[in-house]
């Protein structure tokens, strides 16, 4: 079958790879009808996430049709149309029992590799580092889905793929980011990053009762989407001082809730993007957690910082003194996607939200390598890429 594969820094290819087969009785095989490129894939693309191997199949935002089920699968049948969460969860460990699916204890066969660094391993993820299980991903014609009774949600309605696909990751991720931000009626919420995750965090902030949403980025098309579709006020961090503007907008108190939807690849003033720095041969040791620093400083005393943005390894330079003295609450984590599938599907079915607003590019799998580049460089007004194998 055809699949997008990883071959090193900024080197994604379309390869012919073996079609997956049922390996365990709880597996299902899905024929992919739509799949997306995520900001998390850019950490792999830019080579800042360790544990990738040449030829790994990428992708963790897939949906499609069930074509085969293992003998122990009870909830799915051949022919079902499903969206597949990016987190792989067993459904029976202590964490899954507590609805913390992305912390599943049983789905990372390589957990020992990171136990020393992290103390514990999060769940296995599709199309990601071998440190998180090394599962083949869904930017491919077919995908093997382990624990098929726990993850996928069946799509019973005739909603088109682009309206339900993002249940696999970015809609629940934006939603959990807003939930983690502990938004109360009347709050001002600041969202750093107007990529797909930021856009869904903005939509979700309103759902949780925000009175004012402020979106921060430097890419004008993304800021435009945040303001036109997301009703957010915007700050372009290349033209304005973020801290000063946020103080101005909140009478000097700071936003009640801050969401970092950027993560490790934050562009700081004068620092340059990770890919810029790699091109210039500037070491990543100069990296500062730019958005975290800004958010901690701007957040109002006693406020909440929610971090859906992905970080790896140790991150130095966090103003822990202000975090402590301002009594901030911090919440973060990979998204517990399974927890949100039913309620968010209901919102889509009832027309409360149409997640397809975020799609700017639709193409075939063969165009994947080029679109990785476009999405990474934020060219051609690219906000979200959907691929149809």
Applying CB under 6 A, the residues found at the interface with ligand NAD are 38-40, 42-43, 169-170, 173, 192-198, 216-219, 222, 237, 261-263, 266-268, 290-291, 308-310, 334-335
Min separation Cβ 376 and ligand NAD, Å: 8
Is 124 buried (19+), middle (13-18) or exposed (0-12) by CB count in 10 A?
Answer: buried
Q: Name the binder of 219 from ligand NAD, Zn ion, none, CB < 5-8 A by kind.
A: ligand NAD
Min separation Cβ 118 and Zn ion, Å: 20
Min separation Cβ 77 and ligand NAD, Å: 29
Residue number, 38 or 183, with CB nearest to Zn ion: 38
Comparing CA positions, the residue from 160, 153, 85, 75 lying closest to residue 123 is 85
Q: Name the binder of 309 from ligand NAD, Zn ion, none, CB < 5-8 A by kind.
A: ligand NAD
162: its two tokens: 């682009």
| Beta carbons of 136 and 143 less than 8 angstroms apart | yes
Distance separating alpha carbons of residues 213 and 44, to the nearest angstrom: 30
Residue number, 40 or 376, with CB nearest to Zn ion: 40
Residue number, 354 or 377, with CB nearest to ligand NAD: 377
HSE-CB for 171 with a 13 A CA cutoff: 32
160: its two tokens: 């088109």
Min separation Cβ 382 and ligand NAD, Å: 9
Q: Name the binder of 173 from ligand NAD, Zn ion, none, CB < 5-8 A by kind.
A: ligand NAD
Min separation Cβ 251 and ligand NAD, Å: 22
Give the count of beta carbons closer than 10 Å to the beta carbon of residue 164.
Answer: 25
Min separation Cβ 128 and ligand NAD, Å: 10
Helix (H, G, I), strand (E, B) or coil at 81: strand
Min separation Cβ 5 and ligand NAD, Å: 20
Q: Name the binder of 192 from Zn ion, ligand NAD, none, CB < 5-8 A by kind.
A: ligand NAD
Distances (CA, A) of 178 to 59, 60, 169, 215: 24, 22, 14, 13
Residue number, 164 or 214, with CB nearest to Zn ion: 164
Q: Name the binder of 123 from ligand NAD, Zn ion, none, CB < 5-8 A by kind.
A: none
CA dihedral over 227, 356, 137, 156, signed as positive or negative: positive
Q: Name the binder of 291 from Zn ion, ligand NAD, none, CB < 5-8 A by kind.
A: ligand NAD
Helix (H, G, I), strand (E, B) or coil at 223: helix
Of positions 80, 105, 169, 260, contacts Zn ion by CB under 5 A: 169
Residue with the shortest CB distance to Zn ion: 38
CA dihedral over 262, 10, 388, 385, signed as positive or negative: positive
| Beta carbons of 230 and 201 less than 8 angstroms apart | no
Residue number, 143 or 323, with CB nearest to Zn ion: 143
Q: Name the binder of 64 from Zn ion, ligand NAD, none, CB < 5-8 A by kind.
A: none
Give the contacts of 92 (CB within 8 A, at least 6 positions apart).
106
Q: By CB under 5 A, is residue 256 in contact with Zn ion? A: no
Residue number, 143 or 202, with CB nearest to ligand NAD: 202
Min separation Cβ 137 and Zn ion, Å: 10
- Relative to beta strand 2-6, strand 56-57 is antiparallel
Distance separating alpha carbons of residues 81 and 65, to the nearest angstrom: 5
Min separation Cβ 77 and Zn ion, Å: 27
Residue number, 40 or 108, with CB nearest to Zn ion: 40
Q: Name the binder of 293 from ligand NAD, Zn ion, none, CB < 5-8 A by kind.
A: none
Residue number, 290 or 375, with CB nearest to Zn ion: 375
| Beta carbons of 63 and 161 less than 8 angstroms apart | yes
Residue number, 27 or 169, with CB nearest to Zn ion: 169
- Relative to beta strand 142-145, strand 28-37 is antiparallel
Strands (E), 7-80: 12-16, 28-37, 56-57, 62-69
Touching Zn ion, residues 10-49 (CB under 5 A): 38, 40
Tell me which residues touch Zn ion (CB under 5 A).
38, 40, 169
């Amino acid at each position: 079958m055809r699949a997008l594969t990883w071959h090193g820094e900024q080197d994604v290819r379309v390869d012919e790879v073996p079609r997956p087969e049922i390996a365990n009785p709880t597996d299902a095989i899905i024929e992919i009808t739509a799949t997306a490129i995520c900001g998390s894939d850019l950490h792999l693309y830019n080579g800042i996430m360790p544990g990738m191997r040449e030829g790994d199949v990428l992708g963790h935002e897939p949906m499609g049709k069930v074509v085969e089920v293992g003998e122990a699968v009870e909830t799915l049948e051949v022919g079902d149309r499903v969206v597949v969460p990016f987190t792989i969860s067993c459904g029976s460990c202590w964490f899954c029992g507590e609805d913390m699916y992305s912390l599943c204890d049983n789905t990372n066969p390589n957990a020992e590799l990171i136990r020393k660094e992290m103390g514990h391993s999060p769940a296995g993820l599709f199309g990601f580092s071998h440190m998180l299980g090394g599962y083949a991903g869904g930017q491919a014609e077919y995908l093997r889905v382990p624990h098929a009774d726990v993850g996928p949600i069946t799509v019973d309605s005739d909603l088109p793929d682009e309206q339900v696909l993002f249940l696999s990751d970015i809609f629940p991720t934006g939603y959990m980011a807003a939930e983690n931000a502990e938004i109360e009626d009347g709050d001002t919420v600041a969202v750093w990053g107007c990529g797909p995750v930021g856009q869904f965090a903005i939509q979700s902030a309103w759902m949780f009762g925000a009175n004012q949403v402020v979106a921060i980025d430097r890419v004008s098309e993304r800021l435009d989407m945040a303001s036109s579709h997301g009703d957010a006020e915007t700050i372009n961090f290349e033209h304005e001082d973020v801290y000063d503007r946020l103080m101005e907008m909140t009478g000097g108190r700071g936003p009640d809730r801050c969401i970092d939807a950027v993560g490790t690849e934050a562009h700081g003033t004068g620092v340059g993007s990770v890919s810029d720095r790699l091109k210039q041969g500037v070491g990543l040791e100069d990296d500062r957690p730019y958005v975290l620093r800004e958010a901690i400083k701007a957040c109002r005393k006693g406020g909440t910082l929610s971090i859906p943005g992905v970080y790896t390894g140790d991150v130095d330079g966090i103003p822990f003194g202000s975090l402590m003295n301002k009594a901030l609450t911090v919440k973060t984590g990979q998204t517990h996607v399974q927890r949100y599938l039913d309620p968010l599907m209901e919102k889509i079915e009832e027309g409360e939200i149409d997640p397809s607003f975020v799609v700017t590019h639709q193409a075939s799998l063969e165009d994947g390598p080029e679109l990785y580049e476009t999405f990474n460089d934020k060219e051609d007004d690219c906000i979200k890429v959907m691929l149809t194998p």
